[in-house]
Structure formats: C-alpha cells, structure tokens
Amino acid sequence: MNLQRSTFCRPIRRQQLDIIGIQHPLFSAELALQGAQLLNFQPQGDPPWLWLSEQADYLQGSSVRGGIPVCWPWFGDLRRNPQAVQQHFQGNGSSAPAHGLARTALWQLSALKEDVHQVDLTLATQQLSRLWPTMSAQLHITLRRDRLVLRLNSRNDSPNPVTISQALHTYLPVEDIRTVTVGGLQGNTYIDALDDWQSRQQQGLVRFSAETDRIYHSQGPLRLQSGQHSRTLVSNSASTVVWNPWINKSQRLSQFHPDAWQRMVCIETTNAAFDCVALQPGQQHSLQLQLT
Ligand SMILES: O=P(O)(O)OC[C@H]1O[C@@H](O)[C@H](O)[C@@H](O)[C@@H]1O
C-alpha cells in the first residue's frame, strides 16, 4: 500500500529504514516498517509520549532503541521461555535472537484510515521466517490526541497447536528515574530476572534505586508518575515487565547513552512466563495496550 493518497502520512527514509511520518493537526508520529515499530508519538502541545534514544540507529536487522518494539513470537531470551514456547523454534537454540523474530522483520502497511480525529494503521507480516511454525501477525495502531492504542493480533495458521510469548516493549520518558513511581502492582507477585528468577511480592508502589528487570502478575490499569506527568497504561494481559538498566548495564546496551537510564523506563505489555498464549490451529489472539 502506498501513501500517495494519504492526507497526513508520508514516507521518510532514516539511514537504512523506511519510516511512515505522520503529521496530523492534533499529533505527530513516526513508524518504522521494520518491526512495525512506533518510534515517536507526540500530541500537539505535549512532550513526546515515547522515549527514543538520542543514539538511535536506523539499521536493517537491528531494532531501534526506543519507541515500542514488537517482541514476537517470543519474549526475551528464548531459553528462559517455557518449553512449550522453546520447542517451536526450528533453528539452533543459541542463535535465537532476543525478543523473537518480528522486531527485525519487514512489515507492510495493509490498511490506513484517517480523519480529523485519528489515524488508524494496520501492519501485517506473514511468514516471518523458516524458523517458526506458520503464523501471521498484525499490528493495529490508533493514534488520537488523547490516546494511543496498539493491538497485536496473532493467528496460528499451522496444523498444530503453537504457544507464544510476546510484548509491546514500551519505552517511556521520565524526568528522573529515582523519583518515578509505578502504581497498580501493589501486593502483586513478580519474577525477579536479576535474582535467579525467584518469585517476590511487591510492597507498595514500584520505585527505582537499582537495575530492575521483573515480570509482574498484573491486572487493571498501571499508572506511571514522573514529576508532574503521569501516564495510564491499560492492557488485556496478565503480565507486565518493568525494566530499567541502571548504571552498569547501560554501558553494555547498544544505541544507548551511558546516562540515558535516568530518563527512561520500560513498562511492557506482555504475555510472558506464566502468561504465555497457547493457540490451536486457526485460533487467534489479541494483545492490547492503551496509553493515555
Ligand atoms: O537490548 P534488548 O534486546 O532490546 O533488550 C532490552 C531489555 O528488554 C527487557 O524486556 C528485558 O527484560 C531485559 O532483560 C532486556 O535487557
């Protein structure tokens, strides 16, 4: 689908990547076709809603650091996934890329609707590679002045059941990570990926004073508070990953300024660990995030 008839969208090229630039009277956004990765979203008069690294590289075969990478059909390190997910990978286990195959795959724009209030985009990818059973994925994105909605649909087109994990890996800007709180997870249990994947219980609001990498049981809205700004995240999944690399890990991350950990946090809408999704042949599933 080309953008010639679009009122608000036009193609942009950044280094090696094709990007859809969206200039609507009420907001602006950028969306990379590689990985169906939303890179920016900024309503008029607001600061950017998503964090994007000042050292971002737009290269084929590597995910851009920031925005909302789509992790699919597995989340994180494949070897840390339940056997029900791992068993489908048809390559060599140690060659499985972190966060799955979709973030570096090329997606196509398959539908575009736009009016004075909103822009709706649908991106699709068919067979991602020979490394996974036949499945299709579609990402629907709705941009509005007052909200951002992402819906990641998966369909099992193979003749056998398939189990996946996945994430909408949302990078959010913060003023100072040391003063940030995340509400909505009080009393919930989580897996601490930095403490031998032990199960722990959250006491009070989530605050940050060290590297943080956790898979929470979650239900209901989450509220990120950073200075005067707050964001509400509503998802339909039962797990959420909260991640900040802090000082040491920041030095090892690609496309990441060593100080950038102070200005970002990831609150990731996931189906991960205990919350993986089993799909029968022909069955579909939708993972949804609404940010307001
Ligand atoms: O560097 P990547 O592959 O984009 O991953 C970033 C982070 O993504 C998070 O989701 C993981 O929980 C972290 O462990 C990981 O470091």
Task: Please give the ipTM for the structure prediction.
Answer: 0.98
- Ligand 1 centroid–CA 26 distance in Å is 32
Query: By the 8 A CB rule, do 152 and 68 touch?
Result: no
- Helix (H) or strand (E) holding 249, with range, is helix 246-252
Q: Tell me what the pLDDT averaged over the chain comes to.
A: 97
- For ligand 1, mutation pick of 169, 190, 265 (most atoms within 8 Å of CB): 169
Task: Decide if pLDDT at 74 tops 80.
Answer: yes
* Structure token pair of residue 261: 């950990």
CA distance 50 to 65: 11
pLDDT at 126: 73
- Nearest-CA residue for atom 3 of ligand 1: 98
Kindly report the backbone phi and psi dihedral angles of residue 50, in degrees, each rounded to the nearest multiple of 5, phi listed first.
-115, 150
The mean pLDDT value for 166-189 works out to: 98
Cα 76 to averaged position of ligand 1 atoms, centre (Å): 7
- Per domain, the residue ranges of the chain are 9-291
Q: What is the pLDDT of residue 127?
A: 64
Mean per-residue pLDDT for 94-107?
94
Terminal C-alpha separation, the chain: 29
Which tokens in the block code for residue 212? 């943080």
Say how many C-beta atoms besides its own lie within 10 A of residue 243's C-beta: 18
Distance in Å, CA 90 to ligand 1 centroid: 23
- Give the closest residue to 204 by CA, choosing from 222, 178, 226, 186: 186
Measured from the Cα of 69, ligand 1's closest atom is 4
Q: Tell me which residue of 231, 69, 229 sits closest to 146, measured CA to CA.
A: 231
> Rounded to an integer, what distance in angstroms lies between the CA atom of residue 186 and that of residue 193?
19
The lowest-confidence range among 97-101, 132-136, 204-208, 271-275 is 132-136
The predicted structure's pLDDT at residue 92: 84
State both tokens at 258.
Answer: 């060593």
- Cα angle vertex 257, ends 190, 292, to 5°? 50
* Atom of ligand 1 lying closest to residue 167 CA: 10
How many C-beta atoms lie closer than 10 Å to residue 96's C-beta?
Answer: 19
- Comparing C-alpha atoms, which of 34, 32, 73 is closest to residue 50? 32
- DSSP secondary-structure letter at 274? G
Pocket test residue of 194, 213, 256, 265 for ligand 1, highest count of atoms within 8 A of CB: 213
Which residue has better confidence, 94 or 105? 105
For residue 73, give both structure tokens: 């059909």
pLDDT exceeding 70 applies to what percent of the chain? 100
Give residue 93's pLDDT. 75
**Calculated CA dihedral for residues 94, 152, 241, 98, nearest 10 degrees:** 10
Atom 9, ligand 1: residue with shortest CA distance: 243
Distance in Å, CA 52 to ligand 1 centroid: 15
CATH number given to 9-291 = 2.70.98.10
Closest protein CA for atom 1 of ligand 1:
253
Rounded Cα distance, 195 and 198, in Å: 6
Quote the ligand 1 centre to 266 CA distance (angstroms).
9
Residue for token pair 């690294």: 53
Give me the pLDDT at residue 128, please. Answer: 75
Residue with tokens 């990953």: 241
Element spanning 247, H or E: helix 246-252
What is the structure's pLDDT at 285?
Answer: 98
Residue 254 CA, closest ligand 1 atom number: 1
Q: Is 179 helix (H, G, I), strand (E, B) or coil?
A: helix
- Ligand 1 mean position, distance from CA 243 (Å): 8
Residues noted as catalytic? 169, 268
Q: Average pLDDT of 249-272?
A: 98
Residue 261 — very low, low, confident or very high, per pLDDT cuts 50/70/90? very high
Atom number in ligand 1 closest to CA 249: 16
pLDDT mean over 41-70 = 98
pLDDT at 94 over 90: no
- Indicate which atom in ligand 1 lies nearest the CA of residue 215: 12
- Taking the complete model, does pTM exceed 0.95, yes or no? yes
Residue 137 has pLDDT above 70, yes or no: yes
CA distance 257 to 89: 33
Ligand 1 site residues, Cβ closer than 6 angstroms = 63, 76, 98-99, 169, 213, 241, 243, 253, 268
DSSP string, 31-98: EETBTTEEEEEEETTSPPSS-B-TT----TTS--SBSB-EEBSS-S-GGGS-HHHHTT--S-GGGPPT
pLDDT for res 130: 82
